[in-house]
Structure formats: structure tokens, C-alpha cells
Amino acid sequence: MLAESFDEREAANLFKYALEDYFHKRYFDIKDFDLNEEEIEELNYIFEKISNHYPIQYIFNKAHFFGLDFYVDENVLIPRPETEELVHWILTNHADNSLQILDIGTGSGCIAIALKKNKPDWKFFAIDISEKALEVANINANKHHTEIEFFQHDILPTTNFFVDVQLYMERDDAAPLQLDIIVSNPPYIPFFEQDKMSSSTLNFEPPTALFVSNDSPILFYEKIADFALLHLTKNGKLYFELNEFNANEVVTMLQQKGFIDIQLKKDLAGKDRMLRCTIIN
């Protein structure tokens, strides 16, 4: 079955992954095929899904990101290598040990958790619109023993996020929490770019995490920038992952809102993929 959709070597690799990651058997131990009938049926079911380009990360509930294994399912985007580059960039830019950081649209939690693993003293908040994504993020935070405050929140309407945080933490001071870093990999694919996407992303990854309307492709960046103007500390940094096709629009929008020191950075594929900027306040 796999051989119809993949070349021989790729099919053999996928078979090996299935044995090792799903059945926890070792490929070289399978000389005498010792899977029972039920397992063979299950294997066939998996192969059918893989042949239809269903992501293997969702089958095995596992994706690698920044040297860590993350639990993933259809409720979250599969972490991408470009996003590892964003995490790496943040880590190389901040030596300070006591920063407060918010991840907007955390999904699987991969950005916040990978950062927390490397900066255990930073205090993390993370939000997502999707309850189900937050369940996944929680699984991952527990798996990696990282303490992160997760909140269900939609960034598009004007925000009462910090009211929620203050209630949760039973803080009675009225001053909003201030953040040293805000990071986001928001939905950034306008529907008209769908034809550029792989069928596995298009058909199986969560549309809420991916798409924005054709009319306002940088809407999330605008809202997050407004939020950052209110909640970033002096010299606080805003980091974005970007769509290479509208990266320059995001830069212009940030300049118009008064952000300074805007740095665009290319990913390893040479595409404008991330940005950082700051504010004077």
C-alpha cells in the first residue's frame, strides 16, 4: 500500500517508524513477522492514512521540536523547523534571568516550553483561543516539567487577558502585568495562498491555527502589536514568526504604530520568516 504512494525506501522508512513508534517493536527484530492479526489490521489502517498524506506526527502523537518530543494531535499545528529558529533567536538575544514572557497562540506549547526548558527562571504565560489546543499544551508542559500559566483567550477582541491573569493569581493590585517579551506565531496564511500548501497541512492541520481572511492577512499582527504597545516593558521585545509573502507589510504596520529597531530575519531556506522589534515608552 505504501509503495503506491511513496518510493521503496521511503515506504520502508515509514514501516520502520510505525513498528518502532507505534508498536514499540524493533525493526531488526522482525525477521519472523510476529505481529498478531489485530496489529496487522492496525498497521494497514495506519498505512492507509499515511498513503492519504495524513501526517505521521498525528498518528504517533509525536513531533520533535528543539530537541524535545511533543505530544501532538489534530487540535494543534505540527511544530515547524522555522519556529525552532525563532526560539533559537530569542534564546541568543536575552541573557537576563528574570524575564516575563507571553506566547500568543501557543498551540502545542512548543515555543513556550522550549524556551522555558532553556530559561527555567523566566516566568511564562501562554494563551490560545482553542481549549483543545490548551489541553495539548498542558500535556506537553507536564511532560517536560515546565511551569507555564495557560489561559484560554482570543486576542482579536480587545483584551481583558490581564484581568483574567490577575484574578487567577489572586492579585489585587490594579497595575497590569508587564511583559519583557511577547512572542507569537499567529495564523498567517490568507485563503488565496491555499494552493501553495501541502495536502497534508491543508487537509489535516487545524485551520484556526493557519488561516486568515483574504481581506486582512496581517490582522493578528496588528492586534498583537496594539496589545504589545500596552503591555511591553521599556525596551521589551516583540517577536513574530512571519509569512514570507507579507513580511514587509508587517514591518510597515509596526513602523506606523511607532515600533523601533525592527529587525527582519530569514530562515534557513532564505525566506523572511521572523522579526523582532521594540518600543520606547
Task: Using alpha carbons, list the distances in angstroms from residue 202 to 136, 190, 191, 247.
Answer: 21, 12, 10, 22
Least CB distance from residue 35 to ligand GLN, whole Å?
34
Nearer to ligand GLN, 59 or 274 (CB): 274
Least CB distance from residue 187 to ligand GLN, whole Å?
5
Least CB distance from residue 103 to ligand GLN, whole Å?
13
| Calpha distance 42→18 (Å, rounded) | 10
Nearer to ligand GLN, 23 or 54 (CB): 54
Task: Using alpha carbons, list the distances in angstroms from residue 187 to 105, 208, 221.
Answer: 8, 7, 9
Residues at the interface with ligand GLN (CB under 6 A): 80, 185-189, 201, 210
Q: Following CA atoms 121, 126, 132, 138 in sequence, which dihedral angle do they give, to the nearest 10 degrees? A: 10
Nearer to ligand GLN, 260 or 269 (CB): 269
Which DSSP category does 18 fall into? I
Nearer to ligand GLN, 185 or 278 (CB): 185
Bridge partners of 266? 272
Least CB distance from residue 117 to ligand GLN, whole Å?
21
Count how many Cα atoms sit within 13 Å of the Cα of residue 211 in the half-sphere of its side chain.
17
Grid coordinates given for 152: 484560554
For 175, list phi and psi in degrees, rounded to 5. -65, 130
Nearer to ligand GLN, 46 or 217 (CB): 217
